[in-house]
Amino acid sequence: MKPLSLVMVSAGFWPTIGGAECQALELSAALAARGHRVVVLTRRLPGLPRVETRRGVTIRRLPVLGAGAVEALAFLLGVFGWLLLHWTEWDAVHAHLAGSPALAAAAAGRLLGRPALVKLGGGRGIGELAASARTALGRAKLSALAALNPRFLAVVPDLAAEAREHLGDIRVEVLSNGVDADVFAPADAARRRALRAAFGWREDALVFLYTGRFSEEKRLPWFLRLWGEAAGPEARAVLAGTGPEDSAIRAAAAAAAGRILVLEPRENLAELYAAADVFFLPSTSEGLSNSLLEAMSTGLAALASRVGGTAETVADGRTGLLFSSGDEGAARAAIRRLEAEPGLAARLGAAARAEVLERYAIGRVVDRLESLYRGAEAR
């Protein structure tokens, strides 16, 4: 079939590292690898070039002015203007997250009669839908977005249900995030030993890993306190990222006498996953965590709170261990069980890998997106 010319719209993009940004990059790169022309429209931040290419994807950074609502409006107008000025250069537009730029993408798609997709993000109650619903301006944005009626995508049914609560009788499709299972794959025994030696981790230590944003809803300081009480002296907790909770996490690490390690955020996480045993995600709310999928794809057992998309992705006792959000006793018990049962983490991780291959391989996601970009099931 004829290659497509696609525009991805995202307020943040590489080298910004976050769940939405990482997934937008992975999808864009996977589409480019199939021969499609992919252009990303994002904000121009200080120190970054106006145009560059990354993994076959053209990144165009549009200038913005001011801050807050003024900056959002400037980016919205910039995206809308670019889409109209370059109307002969694209077949479909895909907005990542339902922020203000999604209005520009939806409006341009409606005006020009082309497919426009808007991916909803965040967990129930903490994502952009809930945040917008709290203000008059935000509610007006949601009403306009619902009226424009693009194709809405939600990564889990829980988020699709929330979208209908805020946007009314819209058409929203559940389409999970995707992960490159070739990049995020288990290491063989020799490679794993070499990675652990390079990181300074004992070969026989049970390593608990978190990657991503250090934000309040992740409840990382809470979990680290419980982990310190329940984990054995040889276990290690490793966190790679940054965010608002950075100081509290580093304080916990400083008090843990080397048992908790905090690493700077990094783009290449595959080696960290391949050297660890367990991925922990004690959030109060989640959509569908890219980091969780990457870890599962690499063969890590999941240790997570039973919320949102995590509860729909991790099979308790088969691909990981789940505990109710805020349940300290259950979290401690799960940590102790992973240490007490030899081979448990490896068995859960192997099942997690198989689950990702069956349900979350990025090729499956791209197949569906291609049909939507081509106008399949268009209204």
Domain ranges (residues) in the chain: 5-178+362-373, 189-359
Structure tokens belonging to residue 337: 């069980």
Evaluate whether the domain defined by 189-359 bears CATH number 3.20.190.10.
no
- If one compares 31 and 379, the residue with the highest pLDDT of the two is 31
Question: Using the 8-state DSSP alphabet, how is residue 152 labeled?
Answer: E
pLDDT at 141: 87
C-alpha span between 156 and 173 (Å, rounded): 9
C-alpha span between 126 and 190 (Å, rounded): 42
- Count of CB atoms situated within 10 Å of the CB of 2: 8
pLDDT at 21: 85
pLDDT at 293: 96
In this predicted model, what pLDDT tens digit does every residue of 86-110 receive, in sequence order? 999 999 999 998 788 899 999 999 9
C-alpha span between 196 and 167 (Å, rounded): 48
pLDDT at 378: 44
Which residue, chain included where needed, has tokens 């070969």? 203
C-alpha span between 142 and 133 (Å, rounded): 8
Identify residue 21 by its one-letter amino acid code.
Answer: E
Residue 116 near residue 108, CB atoms below 8 Å: yes
Evaluate whether the domain defined by 5-178+362-373 bears CATH number 3.40.50.2000.
yes
Where residue 58 falls among pLDDT bands split at 50, 70, 90?
A: very high
Whether 114 shows a pLDDT value over 90: the answer reads: yes
pLDDT at 68: 81
C-alpha span between 151 and 36 (Å, rounded): 20
In this predicted model, what pLDDT tens digit does every residue of 288-326 receive, in sequence order? 899 999 999 999 999 999 998 899 999 999 999 999 999
- Count of CB atoms situated within 10 Å of the CB of 35: 11
Instruction: State mean pLDDT over 195-213.
Output: 95
Instruction: State mean pLDDT over 271-281.
Output: 98
- Greatest alpha-carbon span in the chain: 62
Cα dihedral 5, 34, 365, 132, rounded to 10, equals: -30
Helices (H), the chain: 19-33, 68-85, 100-112, 128-133, 136-148, 157-167, 189-199, 220-230, 246-254, 270-275, 290-297, 308-313, 328-340, 344-359, 362-373
Please tell me the total number of residues recorded for the chain in this structure.
379
In this predicted model, what pLDDT tens digit does every residue of 206-247 receive, in sequence order? 999 999 999 999 999 999 999 999 999 999 999 999 999 999
Strand partners, 9: 41, 95
- From the centroid of its chain, how far is CA 193? 29
Instruction: State mean pLDDT over 155-176.
Output: 89
Whether 205 shows a pLDDT value over 90: the answer reads: yes
User: Which H or E run includes 320?
Assistant: strand 320-323
The per-residue pLDDT of the chain, averaged, comes to 93
Where residue 379 falls among pLDDT bands split at 50, 70, 90?
A: very low
Strand, helix or coil for residue 41: strand
User: Which H or E run includes 93?
Assistant: strand 92-96
Beta pairing class for 57-62 and 51-54: antiparallel
pLDDT at 376: 61
Which residue, chain included where needed, has tokens 């904000």? 43
Say whether 189-359 and 5-178+362-373 share the same fold: yes
